[in-house]
Amino acid sequence: MNHESTRIIHDEHAALAAMLQSLRMLVQRGPGNEPEQFFDVLRAMLFYIDEFPERLHHTKETELLFPPLRARAPHLRETLDRLDQDHAHGEAAVRELQHLLLAWELLGESRRVAFEQASERYLAFYLAHMRTEETVILPEAEKVLTPEDWQALDAAFATNGDPLTGKYPRDPVYDRLFTRIVMRAPSPIGLGSA
Ligand SMILES: [Fe+2]
Ligand SMILES: [Fe+2]
């Protein structure tokens, strides 16, 4: 990745993929003897995904990266339309997951399968989405965008990349939340003791 903006997107994908894999392992292991810890960590993970990638990462792609790419690579229009639809749908999907998790926690085992299936669907959807961006979109962007496009894009990422803080680097509060989740998640996923 040669440009600051694609490097940022790539780094955010790596962090998100790590979070999603941890979430999958945690769900597969189940609450065991530590249901409180289990539901606390899962809730924090879904909150992170809802707060950071769904609101900030997708916005950068849809509003800043995709428009110049649409102009320079018309053959990618269908793919970009699909990715934009994914972005539009993702926030509702993660809210639904948060609700299904609460149902499992508060109503018990009868609601477990619904959460497990929905989280697996969400993970598959999300990982496929990022794979397309990593294997199709970012390489094509490196090929077709002009130096002027990159200059504008990098400047936009530096000033408007984060709609909550209005500046980049992003609000460190998200890095702290990410670290806190990793610290609390049980091993081998994270560093927590439970
Ligand atoms: Fe995306
Ligand atoms: Fe992305």
Ligand index nearest the alpha carbon of residue 86: 1
CA–centroid distance, 123 to ligand 2, in Å, is: 14
The CA R_g of the chain, rounded to the nearest whole Å, is: 18
Note the pTM of the prediction, 2 decimals.
0.85
The pLDDT tens digits of the residues spanning 9-53 come to 988 898 888 889 889 999 999 999 999 999 999 999 999 999 888
Within 8 A by CB and 6+ apart from 109, the residues are none
For residue 32, report the distance from its CA to the centre of ligand 2, in Å. 33
pLDDT, tens digit, 9 for 90 and up, residues 83-139: 999 999 998 999 999 999 999 999 999 999 999 999 999 999 999 999 999 999 999
